[in-house]
Amino acid sequence: MFSNQRKTIGVFVESVLSEFPNRLCQGIISRAEEKGYNVAIFTPYGNYGENDLYFAGDNQLYQLPPYEDFAGVIVALDTMQEAESRDVLLGQIKKRCRCPVISIRELVEGADNFLVDNTTCMETVIRHFVEVHGFTRLCFMSGPESHWDAVERMACFKRLMQEYGLSVGEHQVFYGDYWKNKGKEACDWFFEGQEMPQAIICANDYMATAVASELIGRGIRIPQEICVSGYDGMNDALNFTPSITTVNVPFYEMGKRAVEIIDEKQENPGENKNYYFDTQLKVRESCGCLKEGGKEVVKIRRDWHEEAKVNQNRQLQFHFLSIHLSGCHTIDEMSEYLYQYIFNIEGLRDYCVCFCEDLKSREDFSDYSDTMEMRIAIRNLVNMGRINIPFERKELLPPEMTDETPQIWYFTPLHFQNQTFGYEATRFLTPEVTGNLYLYWNIIISSKVQDALIYYRMQNLIGELENLYDRDSLTGMYNRRGLENHGGKLFEEAHQKGCPLFLAIIDLDGMKQINDNHGHVEGDYALKMVCKAISEACAKESIQARSGGDEFVVIANGIDESEGAAWMEKMEAVLDGMNQRGEKNYEIHASYGYVCRVPGEEDSMETYIKESDDMMYKNKIENKKRRNEPLR
């Protein structure tokens, strides 16, 4: 994998730009580089917009990795929005992996599990509200009722409330979604109780910010009237105003330790274990206890403000990228524009786009091809230009993008709805500036690839329509319209350059007799045989056309009369050979006439055709006499 001899750790997270997976990956990368491992991070974007077709295409990324070749696998299942994603990934891991597997924050059978003790994790914040603030009316916003860690955190809350002799009424508990969608519902539920809560404790930071936002919208002051707390220690909670009291989870340390355990298990697999990590209470403005966290809050808010300005400019730049790409019709044309705008992705070192083999002709878009093609690449911040480098899918990247140092790459899917095109691969300069992947950038490229494929198919259809427009359906030769379009150009060229123009009229002899005596199918066969004889006798550079029912025209410039006469004689010889084989109970003959000279000022295509036609009819009469056929 990666065309070097190093072992590779596979990492599976969703939406890596989010804080938890980003910090986890930074820890993984930091320790993996120290120990000499490659890292391949597979990070789809999830079911944005609840679009089932898009989600199916996004999920396809889990079919890409060579699971059998990993030295270890790290999964963060709780970053994945949909149960289907988790099921697909776990199915691949259990079926194909032969290496240590580490699950972050979720119990997985057959894996080493990195957990926080949910039976005690909420203790510090609950004790803080009871012992420091003297609160007795506490409400708890849990995660989904069926989720195992939500069940354990709820049990922790109820146990502590019982220990302090505090009641837990119906409207003191609400089951949320671990996301930001149920802040209003939670507040409505809590406020239906007999008394206004003094504090709302949330099982994660996303729900805490949603609740805090809803309270502020209702004119309730935090922390003066109600305190709020979260869990996870996300910067979202720190940046919120007021900053949210929370419990820090050591994601970075989890990432580092995961690599260490994988490394230890290379020689001594041992039994699977559950590892528990300590959390730390971070008191902030939402409970009125800023303490030493003040400097941290100020710094984070300053950084957030600067990042907001950068993000605003980045969004604008991506809009301009979309505008520029709208003028591209092929994948090759995209490279230069991507190179211009990719520097908006901070910390970037290398970047490439790998497509399924022969994407333009591909009919099945449900999986990645065994051979992939790198078509766009930026190596060490230098654009490699228009390329097409094939490589084996199991290598993930061609040798041109890798070296002998530990390779750290992020892989994101490229697809339009459920049609799989390939994937992006991105490498960053350092672990500290990593995971800066943007859905908007990805969608722009995926949509442009779809446009390019549609353009290619449209051009093919136009070509087919043009063929139908100026081609004879029976013989495949040009028809009269094609003769006028293409033959006329040869005439003008011969006239301008002063070179000879050869024009021959060829007519199938006895067409009516063949149709009358043997049927129209045989008549069509005779026409195709004359077409075949013309094609074998005349050079490919000539224009060959069926100009009427049984009449053909050949045009060429730059040849002398002897060459043109030789063509016609060879045509007759080909027909004679067909007749001698006796495949039909009738013979196929053709008469011809031709003109070969430099076009004069008075000449036109019509004059050449008339002269050749007159000669053809004279030859037809002579041929009938020679074959003792009736002159009619």
Quote the pLDDT of residue 296. Answer: 66
Report residue 527's pLDDT band, with 50, 70 and 90 as the boundaries: very high
Q: Average pLDDT for residues 6-30, to the nearest whole number? A: 92
Backbone angles phi, psi at 255, to 5 degrees: -60, -45
- The number of angstroms, rounded, from the C-alpha of 152 to the middle of its chain's C-alpha atoms is 39
Give the burial class of 482: count Cβ atoms within 10 A of its Cβ; 0-12 exposed, 13-18 middle, 19 or more buried.
buried
Split at pLDDT 50, 70, 90, the class of 306 is low
| 182 pLDDT more than 70 | yes
Place of tokens 């500036």: 433
What tens digit of pLDDT does each residue of 310-362 get? 778 888 888 898 998 988 888 889 988 999 999 888 889 999 999 999 998 88
What average pLDDT score do residues 562-584 get?
Answer: 93
Instruction: Count the alpha carbons within 13 Å of 524 in the hemisphere toward its beta carbon.
Output: 8
Split at pLDDT 50, 70, 90, the class of 372 is: very high
Looking at the predicted structure, is the pLDDT value of residue 293 above 60? Answer: no
Q: What is the pLDDT of residue 465?
A: 78
pLDDT exceeds cutoff 60 at 590: yes
Query: Looking at the predicted structure, is the pLDDT value of residue 305 above 70?
Result: no
286 pLDDT above the threshold of 90: yes
Predicted pLDDT of residue 310: 72
Q: What pLDDT score was predicted for residue 561?
A: 92
Q: Which residue has the higher pLDDT, 293 or 389?
A: 389
More confident call, 372 vs 319: 372
146 has pLDDT over 90: no
Three-class HEC string of 478-541:
ECHHHHHHHHHHHHHHHHHHCCCEEEEEEEECCHHHHHHHHCHHHHHHHHHHHHHHHHHHCCCC
pLDDT class for 234, splitting at 50, 70, 90?
A: confident
Placement of tokens 């041109």 in the chain: 400
**Residue 184 buriedness (CB in 10 A; 0-12 / 13-18 / 19+):** middle
Q: What is the pLDDT of residue 631?
A: 60
> What pLDDT, in 10s, does the model give residues 532-566?
999 999 988 899 999 989 999 999 998 999 999 99
Contact status, residue 202 vs residue 178, Cβ threshold 8 Å: no
Distance (Å, rounded) from C-alpha 591 to C-alpha 252?
88
Q: Does position 403 have pLDDT exceeding 90, yes or no?
A: yes
Up-side HSE of residue 136: CA atoms within 13 Å toward CB?
Answer: 4
Bridging pattern class, strands 112-115 and 72-75: unpaired
Q: What is the mean pLDDT of residues 168-175?
A: 95
Q: How confident is the model at residue 304 (pLDDT cuts 50, 70, 90)?
A: low
Query: Residue 72 to residues 104, 425, 553: CA-CA distances in angstroms?
Result: 14, 20, 71
For the record, the structure tokens of 564 come out as 């043109």
Q: What is the mean pLDDT of the chain?
A: 91
Q: What is the mean pLDDT of residues 208-223?
A: 96
Q: What is the structure's pLDDT at 91? A: 94
Average pLDDT estimate for 235-243: 85
The lowest-confidence range among 116-125, 403-412, 612-621 is 116-125
pLDDT digits (tens, 9 = 90+) for 483-496: 988 898 999 999 99
Q: Residues 101, 261: contact at Cβ < 8 Å?
A: no
Query: Is a pLDDT exceeding 70 seen at residue 303?
Result: no
Tell me the C-alpha distance between 364 and 345, whole Å.
32
Name which residue leads in pLDDT, 277 or 235.
277
Q: What is the DSSP letter of 407?
A: P
Preceding amide of 630 cis, omega within 30: no
Q: What is the pLDDT of residue 199?
A: 97
Tell me what pLDDT residue 352 has: 96
Tell me the percentage of the chain whose pLDDT exceeds 70.
97
